[in-house]
Amino acid sequence: MTEQVFAHRPDPQPDATGHFGKFGGRFVPEALMAALDELDGAFRDAWSDPEFIAEYNRLQRTYTGRPSPLTDATRLAEAAGGARILLKREDLNHTGSHKINNVIGQALLTKRMGKTRVIAETGAGQHGVATATAAALLGLECVIYMGEVDTARQALNVARMELLGATVIPVTAGSRTLKDAINEAMRDWVTQLDTTHYLLGTVAGPAPFPEMVREFHAVIGDEARAQTLELTGKLPDAVAACVGGGSNAIGIFQAFLEDPDVALYGYEAGGEGVHTPRHAATLTGGSVGVLHGTRSYLLQDEDGQTIESHSISAGLDYPGVGPEHAFLRDTGRATYESVTDTEAMDAFALLCRTEGIIPAIESAHAIAGAVRLGNQLGPNATILVNLSGRGDKDVATAADWFGLTIESSSE
Amino acid sequence: MSRMAEVFAAARAEERAVLIGYMPAGYPTLAGSIALIETMVENGVDIVEVGLPYSDPLMDGPVIQLAVSKALAEGTKITDVMTTVEATAATGAPALVMSYWNPIERHGPEQFAADLEAAGGTGIITPDLTPEEAGPWMAATDHHVLDRIFLVAPSSTPERIQLVCRASSGFVYAASTMGVTGTRTSVSVKAHDLVERTRGATPLPICVGLGVSNGAQAAEVAEYADGVIVGSAFVSAFEKQDNAADGVHAVGALAADLAAGVRARARPTERLEMS
C-alpha cells in the first residue's frame, strides 16, 4: 500500500506553489510563512521516507483498525431504487470517524519535526477527540480550541478530550463556532511556532495543509477502490461523500480521479435550504473568496464578510470548503449538491432501520445523496458511499429531532 | 513626492520618528471613529491607519477583535471605510487603510484601489497578503498610485525580507513580535534585530508595529525605527472609559504621550547619515 501513495496521480494537484488552478495558495500573516515552509519541507521529506510511511501504516493497522471494511448495504439499496450501495466503514475506525487517519499522520510529523505540542480546532468535537487521542498515544501536549457554542452543544466530546488529557479552550470571539476556533488556533500557533504544530483537521487552510491532509486520507479511497474491485469485479459507477471542509470526500475521491467513468458526488449541508440564509452549502450556494488562508468558495456578503453557516450537523457547519473541491467543482470532475437537515435526518433514520448502523449526521448527508443518486441511476448502478463517522455523538440531537425522550442524569 | 513620503522626510529633518495610529472605521460608530481620528491627528499622530472591520481578523488580539465586532454590529460597510478615509485626509494627515485581503478581493482589487484613490487615501496595509499572492493587487495599486505596505516578521528569512521589500512602497511594516496585535509591557527585542535586517534590503522607511502602548515604548522604538505604529492602545484607551467624551479625551492624551515619545529618542541612529 505504501507504494501506491502517489501512484494514481499522473497530473498532480496542487502545483508547486500550493494552488489548485486559481484556488488554494497561502493568505496568511508573514509571521506564519516560515512555519508553513518548514511544514511543507517536513511533510515532503516524511512522505517519501519508507520508515515514516511504515510507521504510519503500522499505527493505521494496529491502532486505528485499518483496513476499514466495505459493507454491501442490501436493505438500504431497496430504498435507493435498487442500486447497489457499498458503504466504506470509516465509522468503525478508532475514535469513530475518518478523522484519525489525518491525525496520526500529522502527529507523527509533529514528533519528526521535534515539536512537543499540538493544537487543533474542532467543531463537532470529532477532530478534537481524534487529536487528543493521537497526542496521548505519542506523548504530545494537546490544546483544543472549540467555539463556545459548540462546547455547549457537544459537551460529551469536551469531556472525552479532557479524559484524554487535552485542554479544551472555549472560544468566545465572533460567532463562537468552528470558524472562530480556527482563527484562535492560528493566533496561538504564531506565538509558539518553535514548540507547536497546528494539527488542522480538514483539507482547507494555507498550503501545504490541503494537500497534506488529503494524502493522509488517501488511504480511504485506495482501500475502497481495491475492495470494490474485489467484491464486484468492477469500479463503482459513482462515489458519494459528505462535504464540510471536505476531508473524507477528498480522501475517497482521490483514488478515482483518473477513472473517467466513475462519477464523483459531494453532498453539502443544505440546512434549512440553500434558498434560505440558513445553510452551509459553500460550493452550491457560496462564492469565490479567501478564508482561513486559502482561496475557495465560501459564504460571504457583498463586502467579503464571512456569513455564519447553519447545519444540524456541527461537523459540516463551516462557511468555507477545501480548495481542491472548488477546483473539482469548476473543472466539472466532481458534482456537488446540497442535502437539507430534513433529508439528512430521514436518511439517518433509514440507515438505522435498514442496516443497523447509526451514522454521524455528517455521514447521513452522504447517505441521503446516495439514495437520491440510486433513484436516478437505477438498479444496475453501484454506488460507493463514504460512511465517514458513527452517530453515537449525535444521539441527543437525533432524539430531539425525532421527539424521543432521553432520561437525563447529568444535565 | 507622495504625501506620506513628505511626512517621513519632515520627521527625518526633525530627527524623530513618525507616529502612525490605527482606528477601525465605524468604531464605536461611523461619526465616533472620525472624531477619534481627528483627535489623534490634533494630538500628534502623523499618519492614520483606518481599519476595515473584518469578520475573521486572525492577526488581531482581543482588543481589536472586540472593536471590529462592534463596528460590524454597527453595520459598517466598505463605503463607510471610504467615508472615514475622506474625513481623515481632510485633517491633512495621510490616510492608509488596514484591511485583510478578502474584503478587497470581494470588492475587486481594481475597484477598491480606485475607490481609495477617489477618497484621498494614500495606501493600504494588507496583513494577510504576501507578495506571492499579490499579482492583481500590484497592478491595481500601481494604476492608482497607492502605496502598498507588506509586512516583515521576526521569522522572515533574508530571502523573504528581500521579496517583501521589493513589493512594498511607502514603508515596510515590521511586526515586532511573533504574535497578534495587542499592548505588551515591553516591545520585543526581536523588533530591533528585524529592523536592522530589513534596513539592508530597502531604502524605504521601516515602521514597527505590535505591542507599543505608551510614550516610553515609543521612544525606545523610535531609536531604531522610522515610524512607530500604535493600534490596540488607542482602542483600549477609548474602551476603558465610561462615556464617549472621556474616551475621546483619553485617546487624545495617549496620542500626545506617544507623539512626545517619538520625539524623545535618545540618539539619532547612524543610518540617518546614509539616507
Domain at B238, CATH number: 3.20.20.70
Question: Once rounded to an integer, what is the mean pLDDT over residues B128-155?
Answer: 96
Q: What is the pLDDT of residue A286?
A: 97
Q: What is the pLDDT of residue A176?
A: 87
Q: What is the pLDDT of residue A411?
A: 42
B-chain residues within 8 Å CB-CB of A291? 56, 102
Determine, for residues A30 and B157 on separate chains, whether the beta-carbon distance falls below 8 Å.
Answer: no
The terminus-to-terminus CA distance of chain B in angstroms comes to 15
Separation between Cα atoms, residue A339 and residue A268, nearest integer Å: 6
Separation between Cα atoms, residue A336 and residue A13, nearest integer Å: 19
For residue B269, is it within any domain? no
Q: Which residues contact A230 (CB under 8 A, 6 or more apart)?
A: none
Determine, for residues B152 and A30 on separate chains, whether the beta-carbon distance falls below 8 Å.
Answer: yes
Determine, for residues A306 and B55 on separate chains, whether the beta-carbon distance falls below 8 Å.
Answer: yes
pLDDT(A67) > 60: yes
Q: What is the pLDDT of residue B269?
A: 46
Burial class (CB in 10 A: 0-12, 13-18, 19+), A342: middle
The amino acid occupying position A404 is L
The shortest CB-CB distance from B106 to any of A28, A173, A304 is to A304
For residue B24, is it within any domain? yes
Q: What is the pLDDT of residue A124?
A: 80
Catalytic (active site) residue B49: yes
A-chain residues within 8 Å CB-CB of B78? 303
B31-62 pLDDT tens trace: 999 999 999 999 999 999 999 999 999 999 99
For residue A339, list its beta bridge partners: A269
Query: In degrees rounded to 5, what are phi and psi of residue A166?
Result: -85, 155
B145-174 pLDDT tens trace: 999 999 999 999 999 999 999 999 999 999
What's the domain count of chain B?
A: 1
Query: In degrees rounded to 5, what are phi and psi of residue B53?
Result: -60, 135
Question: Once rounded to an integer, what is the mean pLDDT over residues A96-124?
Answer: 96
**What is the domain range of residue B166?**
3-262
The shortest CB-CB distance from B107 to any of A190, A291, A304 is to A304
Mean pLDDT, chain B, whole residue set: 94
Residue pointed to by grid coordinates 482589487: B109
pLDDT(B190) > 50: yes
pTM: 0.95
A224-281 pLDDT tens trace: 999 999 999 999 999 999 999 999 999 999 999 999 999 999 999 999 999 999 999 9
Q: What is the pLDDT of residue A123?
A: 87
Query: In degrees rounded to 5, what are phi and psi of residue B207?
Result: -115, 145
Between chain A and chain B, the number of residue pairs with CB atoms below 8 A apart is 111
Check if the beta carbon of residue A341 is closer than 8 Å to that of residue A335.
no
Check if the beta carbon of residue A189 is closer than 8 Å to that of residue A198.
yes
Separation between Cα atoms, residue A41 and residue A36, nearest integer Å: 9
Burial class (CB in 10 A: 0-12, 13-18, 19+), A331: exposed
Nearest CA in chain A to B153: A31
For residue B270, is it within any domain? no
Burial class (CB in 10 A: 0-12, 13-18, 19+), A332: exposed
Question: Once rounded to an integer, what is the mean pLDDT over residues A293-322?
Answer: 95
Q: What is the pLDDT of residue A408?
A: 57
B244-272 pLDDT tens trace: 999 999 999 999 999 999 999 654 444 44
Q: pLDDT above 90 covers what percent of chain B?
A: 89
pLDDT(A156) > 90: no
Closest residue by Cα to residue A193 from A280, A244, A296, A117: A117
Asked whether the CA dihedral A396, A401, A407, A409 is positive or negative, the reply is positive
Identify the DSSP state of A394: G
Q: What is the pLDDT of residue A407?
A: 67
Q: pLDDT above 70 covers what percent of chain A?
A: 96
The shortest CB-CB distance from B58 to any of A183, A295, A305 is to A183
A164-215 pLDDT tens trace: 999 999 999 888 889 999 999 999 999 999 999 999 999 999 999 999 999 9
Closest-CA distance, B13 to chain A, in angstroms, reads: 32
Q: What is the pLDDT of residue A312?
A: 93
pLDDT(A376) > 90: yes
Determine, for residues A27 and B129 on separate chains, whether the beta-carbon distance falls below 8 Å.
Answer: yes
Selected residue of B52, B54, B58, B208 to mutate for chain A interface (largest A Cβ count, 10 A): B58
The shortest CB-CB distance from A303 to any of B106, B150, B179 is to B106
Question: Once rounded to an integer, what is the mean pLDDT over residues B118-124?
Answer: 98
Determine, for residues A293 and B128 on separate chains, whether the beta-carbon distance falls below 8 Å.
Answer: yes
> pLDDT band at A3, cuts 50/70/90?
very low
Determine, for residues A193 and B178 on separate chains, whether the beta-carbon distance falls below 8 Å.
Answer: yes
Nearest CA in chain B to A29: B128
> pLDDT band at A314, cuts 50/70/90?
confident
Determine, for residues A174 and B69 on separate chains, whether the beta-carbon distance falls below 8 Å.
Answer: yes
pLDDT(A342) > 50: yes
Query: In degrees rounded to 5, what are phi and psi of residue B111?
Result: -65, -40
The amino acid occupying position B130 is T
Separation between Cα atoms, residue A76 and residue A84, nearest integer Å: 9
Identified catalytic residue from B49, B74, B80, B115: B49
Separation between Cα atoms, residue A373 and residue A366, nearest integer Å: 10
B2-22 pLDDT tens trace: 889 999 999 999 999 999 999
How many Cβ atoms sit within 10 Å of the Cβ of residue A197?
26
For residue B69, is it within any domain? yes
Check if the beta carbon of residue A162 is closer than 8 Å to that of residue B34.
no
Question: Once rounded to an integer, what is the mean pLDDT over residues A138-159?
Answer: 92
Q: In the numeric block, which cell numbers belong to residue B176?
A: 515586532
Identify the DSSP state of A359: B
Identified catalytic residue from B38, B60, B220, B226: B60
For residue B28, is it within any domain? yes
Check if the beta carbon of residue B237 is closer than 8 Å to that of residue B251.
yes
Separation between Cα atoms, residue A270 and residue A243, nearest integer Å: 11
Helix or strand holding residue B186 (H, E): none
Q: What is the pLDDT of residue B272?
A: 43
Determine, for residues A30 and B61 on separate chains, whether the beta-carbon distance falls below 8 Å.
Answer: no
> pLDDT band at A11, cuts 50/70/90?
low
How many Cβ atoms sit within 10 Å of the Cβ of residue B110?
15
For residue B267, is it within any domain? no
Q: What is the pLDDT of residue A153?
A: 77
Pairing assessment for the beta strands B18-24 and B47-51 based on DSSP bridges: parallel
For residue B271, is it within any domain? no
For residue B135, is it within any domain? yes
Selected residue of B80, B106, B115, B126 to mutate for chain A interface (largest A Cβ count, 10 A): B106
